Amino acid sequence: MRTTVTAKTLWNGTSLLTNPELTIEDGRIASIVSRSSNKNSFPVQPGVLDYPEATLAPAFLDIHIHGAAGHDVMEATPEAIATIGRFLATRGTGNFLATTVTAPLDATLRAVAGLAKLIQKPGAGNGQPLARPIGIHLEGPFLSHEKRGVQPAEHLLAPDIPTFDRLFDASEGLIRLITLAPELPGAIELTAHAVARGVRVSLGHSNATAAETRAAIQAGATSATHTFNAMRVLDHHEIGILGTVLTDDSLYAELICDGIHNTPEMVKLWYRAKGPSRAILVTDAMSAAGMPDGEYRLGGFPVQVANGRAMARGVLAGSVLTLDRALTNLVEYAGAPLEDALRLLTTNPADLLALPGMPVGAGSLAVGQPANLVALAPSGQLLASIQNGRLAAAV
């Protein structure tokens, strides 16, 4: 089947093309040209999707998401991952890291083993467009008790190389990212070990000083988990982990841009500090994303959701955010140009995870790649999502 997509502009991950005409055949991008350089090509129905005022861009990549549509990734079942994937596809996300939450070690081992099988042999989605997991983000158990947030204290563990290796081996090498607190005994050694095994290390859920944070960066840490949240507060005498994250130009930094986890002013501060090349938008979404208010589960514990706020034991417990909404919020809060803002949920997370075995095309658009793309209004609003050449959403 052949489909042609036209728009005002196309951003491919590096540059902007005006009057684009993108052709899809058998689920892949067959050509990308400018209509001004292809004068004999005119959109005609059927088989043409025309978005005359829109920008085409790569589908989004969410490196920190626990669930959606009533399911949690730690269920690690074909039904759960397919349901999550179908919902994310409607919101513009093409790929994601299935993110665990602190739980009993045996439960986490079972989850990562089950996820590994589903990542390596993904379901077909019953013919529906589907966002696909491309790896695992291990959030916990190597986190600070003081800054654990909603993570269950009884299941936190001290950083330990043998324990990490058990988890990594159970995942069949598909743990791509791990969050840990750098101040914990053994954290620096584990950072160096994880990096040597090809895993990216993100610093978070931490009460670390600046010196402890810099030691982890020196050992190979390259990112920070949900900046501002579950972090030592900023002090002008001891800038701690937060001040270090904001001022170290080498470090990527996640942010949950939902207007709940951070005020618009803090979003603007973060974006100014990290800039369009090191900031990353994530959702930290839980199973309640895309669902009505009520009680849901994050890992193994209940979370109450009301008016867009997910709470457990009086603490924020993830979000119900989607990346398309995070994008529009960023454009509004920080005044970021759309072309720059798009980097935060496409090329930046892809560059952070630039690892052997990553699927071709995550975060970019090029001929031969899977046809995973979005059409966006100038405000960043999602107009359409196309995953593997199929229209997943027309808002």
The pLDDT tens digits for 138-163 are 999 999 999 999 999 999 999 999 99
CA distance 368 to 27: 10
Residue 35: its pLDDT value, please? Answer: 87
Residue 251 has pLDDT above 70, yes or no: yes
Residue 41: its pLDDT value, please? Answer: 54
Q: What SS3 class is residue 356? A: coil
Which has more pLDDT, 46 or 135? 135
The verdict on residue 359 lying in a domain is no
| pTM, 2 dp | 0.95
- Cβ neighbours of residue 119 closer than 8 Å, sequence gap 6 or more: 98, 132, 133, 134, 135, 136, 174
Question: Which spans in the chain are helix H?
Answer: 78-90, 105-120, 161-170, 187-196, 210-219, 240-247, 264-278, 323-334, 338-343, 347-352
> Same domain for 93 and 38?
no
Residue 6: its pLDDT value, please? Answer: 97
The verdict on residue 152 lying in a domain is yes
Residue 394: its pLDDT value, please? Answer: 60
* Residues of the domain holding 41: 2-56+367-394
Residue 122: its pLDDT value, please? Answer: 76
> Same domain for 199 and 283?
yes
| CATH (domain of 73) | 3.20.20.140
> Same domain for 101 and 180?
yes
Mean pLDDT of 51-71: 97
> Same domain for 269 and 148?
yes
For the stretch 277-307, pLDDT in tens is 999 999 999 999 999 999 999 988 999 999 9
Residue 45 has pLDDT above 70, yes or no: no
> Same domain for 136 and 33?
no
The verdict on residue 361 lying in a domain is no
pLDDT bucket at 38, cuts 50 / 70 / 90: low
What share of the chain in percent tops pLDDT 70?
94
> Same domain for 21 and 139?
no
> Same domain for 117 and 34?
no
| Residue pair 254/97 in contact by the 8 Å Cβ criterion | no
Range with lowest mean pLDDT among 128-137, 146-155, 213-222, 358-367 = 358-367
Average pLDDT of the chain, as a whole number: 94
Residue 47: its pLDDT value, please? Answer: 85
Residue 354 has pLDDT above 90, yes or no: no
Count the domains in the chain.
2
> Same domain for 51 and 151?
no
Rg of the chain (C-alpha set): 20
- What are the residue numbers of the active site? 284
For the stretch 165-215, pLDDT in tens is 999 999 999 999 999 999 999 999 999 999 999 999 999 999 999 999 999
The verdict on residue 358 lying in a domain is no
The verdict on residue 360 lying in a domain is no
> Same domain for 375 and 285?
no
> Same domain for 155 and 240?
yes
Residue 101: its pLDDT value, please? Answer: 97
The verdict on residue 362 lying in a domain is no
pLDDT bucket at 111, cuts 50 / 70 / 90: very high
